[in-house]
């Protein structure tokens, strides 16, 4: 494992000690790869994923744009916010997955806030 991946894993473990999602305030977990972005809303008390969205969803199928950039991340954040608001979830806990809060992770968070989620 290279140094950057090991550092991210350590940051994620350190963050997960403090961040916990409940039924009233679930956790919004993010993961990014080079080509795609994945977001889940998780209830940690039950251990289930309530909703998920990624650049592999059907909303992105016809689009020929690159799916691992900031514009794709903001669209995934908007999609996740719309799914959560429809289900009645207004507040969440944001889990940035050990990534630094800039770029694609920041775009996901800002789009989710603009879509109606509070965190």
Strands (E), 8-109: 27-32, 37-43, 48-54, 93-95
* Tens-place pLDDT, residues 61-85: 877 777 888 999 999 999 999 999 9
Note the pLDDT of residue 117.
Answer: 95
- φ and ψ at 57, to 5 degrees? -70, 165
Predicted TM-score of the model (pTM): 0.88
pLDDT at 67: 81
* Helical axes 70-86 vs 104-114, angle rounded to 10°: 30
pLDDT of res. 62 = 76
Read off the pLDDT of each residue in 25-34 and give the average, rounded to a whole number: 94
Topology of domain 3-114, per CATH? Nucleotidyltransferase; domain 5 (3.30.420)
Q: What are phi and psi of 38, to 5 degrees?
A: -125, 140
Average pLDDT, the chain: 92
Q: What is the pLDDT of residue 43?
A: 95
């Amino acid at each position: 494992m290279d140094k950057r991946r090991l550092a991210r894993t350590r940051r994620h473990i350190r963050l997960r000690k403090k961040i916990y999602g409940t039924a009233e305030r679930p956790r919004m977990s993010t993961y990014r790869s080079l080509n795609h972005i994945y977001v889940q809303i998780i209830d940690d008390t039950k251990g289930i994923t309530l909703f998920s969205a990624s650049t592999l969803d059907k909303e992105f199928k016809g689009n020929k744009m690159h799916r691992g950039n900031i514009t794709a991340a903001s669209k995934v954040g908007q999609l996740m916010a719309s799914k959560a608001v429809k289900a009645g979830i207004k507040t969440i806990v944001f889990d940035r997955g050990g990534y630094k809060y800039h770029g694609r992770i920041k775009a996901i968070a800002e789009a989710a806030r603009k879509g109606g989620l509070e965190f």
